[in-house]
Amino acid sequence: MSDAPPRRCPICDKPAPAREVNRFLPFCSARCKDIDLARWFDGAYVISRPLFGEAPPLEATDDEDPS
């Protein structure tokens, strides 16, 4: 067994048990996991810069036939 301090939930700061007993790690519960996901959807979290350099711009192509 490790002497490391227990992990804390990044949403509510309650202890987040080890993965063997907690399938929501790093969160303590499904509720906190859903709160975090909702924050991403709402735009509360953003990635401030490209992770691997600049991505090429996406361009729409008219030559694809949907039929």
- The reported pTM is 0.63
Superfamily (CATH H level) for 1-45: Erythroid Transcription Factor GATA-1, subunit A (3.30.50.10)
Residues 20-61: pLDDT tens digits?
A: 888 999 999 999 999 999 999 999 988 887 777 776 667 766
> Quick check: 1 pLDDT over 90?
no
Element (H, E) at 40: helix 30-42
Identify the bridge partners of residue 8 per DSSP, sorted by sequence position.
15
> Could you tell me the two tokens for 5?
């301090």
- Domain map of the chain by residue range? 1-45
Place of tokens 């810069």: 49
> Quick check: 65 pLDDT over 70?
no
Contacts 24+ apart (CB under 8 A), 57-61: none
